[in-house]
Amino acid sequence: MKLSMSSSSNNLNQYVRLAHETGNIYATDIEDLNERLNEVTKQFKAILKGFVKLMSMVDEN
């Protein structure tokens, strides 16, 4: 999870820097960032589901 977020953040910074240097934003870069965001979102959802399940077990006791 941490690796995915770090990688996405680093790539975002690289894309921003390139956009500032060239004045261009490429569709392939946006697609890549979107895919990475979707993966991080899936991971967060899985973690949240685990927390909800854990909390429901704690509440039962």
How many CA atoms are closer than 13 Å to the CA of 52, on its beta-carbon side?
6
For the chain, the domains span: 2-60
**pTM, 2 dp:** 0.64
Rounded to a whole number of angstroms, the distance between the first and last alpha carbons of the chain is 30
- pLDDT class for 48, splitting at 50, 70, 90? very high
User: Is the CB of residue 25 less than 8 Å from the CB of residue 15?
Assistant: yes
Long-range contacts of 29-33 (CB under 8 A, 24+ apart): 33/8
pLDDT tens by residue, 13-43: 888 888 889 998 889 988 988 998 898 899 9
